[in-house]
Structure 1
Amino acid sequence: MATLTDFYNWIVKNLWNLFGLAGVVATFYFSLTVPSYVEDIATSKTKVVHESLIGDIQEILFSEKELSISDIESFIKGKELKQSVRYPYNADELLLQVQERFIGNKFIPLDKRENLLKTITSIRSNYVPPKNEESAPFNWLPYLSTLLSILGVIASLFGMKSIFNKVKLDKEVELDLDGMIILDEAHRSTPSGYEEYENLVGEVLDDLGVIDTNQVQNRNVRPDFWALSNGKRFIVEAKRYRKLLGVSSLRQFLGTVSLSGCHGILVVSSGVTERTKSLVKEHNKFNSTQQVHIVIGDSKNEIRSQLNQIFSETSNKSNQSDAA
């Protein structure tokens, strides 16, 4: 049962990963909220400009001061420059809204409201729509908000993938370190299970007819099995682990392969780490006469299929070499 100490040790061990995860979550959150927040600010500024214009025009009209369409257009332009916004209404539309405010204000006497209505109607009659009315400028803000959100989500996904890859790599390094400190015993299953797996591999090799019983024993090389296929000799070792096979275990096998002078086949029940796969490719690149093959499987059919393919490929390469 996990204790508080175990939990504390896990936190300390994964602190950087936790910080990275927090950063990814924050990026995802702000990518969705900040653009909306910026758009809300722009909308609020437009509302402030609108209310300010209505208030100013109401004050002028109520005081019975002179007011023209050109004056209203100047007011609008001044507010746009001051607040750095695009006001959505023209002078005529603004006067209509001022008129509605006056009509709906029950605190103003009805006679006064009638006079204000006549005044507004008179001013509006002088409004002439532009012949070539400028089209409204492209509103980039909604698209910018969407773009920022998409970029934020993409960055979050890449960050999450990076964290997962780092956690995976950390686990593989931990496996390799464990292997170097306590060899393979910590990763093996129970002794009886290990022997059963070795016997299973032996049965498959026997079924394929490749077990080499005439191999001269070498006191420096003691693999689980010797195999002979189409004139090519192999050493075969079976590894039944609970965890993935790491680099340290593979290096031990590579040393055995080097001493044997043969090809090598490592049969593993649980799979291997990515670093182990890379090391096998690197070895095979520079050792054409002592190729190493990895077989991953926990059943007779899986192991037989892969072993049969290895022996077939080796035979084909041998025939091609002889033909050349």
Structure 2
Amino acid sequence: MNIIKTLIRDLFSPIASILGVFLTLYFGIFYVPSYIEETKNEKIARMNESLIDRIQEIVYNNKNIDEEFIETMIKGLELKSRTKYPFSTKELLTQSQESFMNNRFISIQERFKYFNQIQKLKESIRENSVKNEIKKSEINFLSLISTILSVIITILSTLGIFLKNKKNKEMEIESELIKTSDEIKESIINAVEFENRIGDLLHKLSSTIEKPTSQERGYDFLVNFNNHKYYIEVKATRDPITLPMIEQIIGRLRNLDGNLILISNKRLTQTAEKFIQNFNKLNEQKFISIVGNDIDEIEDKLREI
């Protein structure tokens, strides 16, 4: 269950983080500026419709209207909606003319009449160069800021994911090292404890026992059973005894004047057992394997030798 949880975490957590980064980038660069632009365009459309309606109403009622009046109306709507009106006064009047000409509820003569009134007003006003300049140089700073912030957030998020994954990997490695170190320590302690227990057992079974002062001798104990020498190697491992381990033991001990005994807490692999059988068939020196964790069981096997 823990393996599945770890697998899910390792697979889906980075994917979710990366997806979050891409969504942030998408919303910041595409969605948010687009939404802001649409909102702005809707405000402008409402402003434009309101201005055209007002101008038509004034012209239709034969009231005087001038450039200053129109600019005041535009400024008032800009303040109210907090949005810059993008069209010049002449452009607004042109749209009003077009709206009059499309109004089928009044006669064609009246349409031309109002059209010409607005045309005279257009010809009387100067070109609004300031408005055109604003229109040409207008930049949606909110969209720009949103895009910049999104890019910065994306970079920081990506860096955060990288640093987090790096930290998690370092913690996993450190955890594995600690776990491995603890396992090695536990294995050494168990091996020493197992060897000491075997040593006590051999003292009990043999009046003659020798423990070499150096590991270079290649064995742990030398005992005498029924006037025969036995060189004993004690192995406490976490895994089965393999053929290379048997070959290593025999390579160290085969030139000694006595038989060989391996006492281990783990079973031998089939290949290792077959090698021992062949060795015993071909050599006068014998190799005896005793496997067990229970000291009484090991004692019984030693007494059978």
TM-score normalised according to structure 1 size? 0.47
Rg comparison, structure with higher value:
2
TM-score normalised according to structure 2 size? 0.50
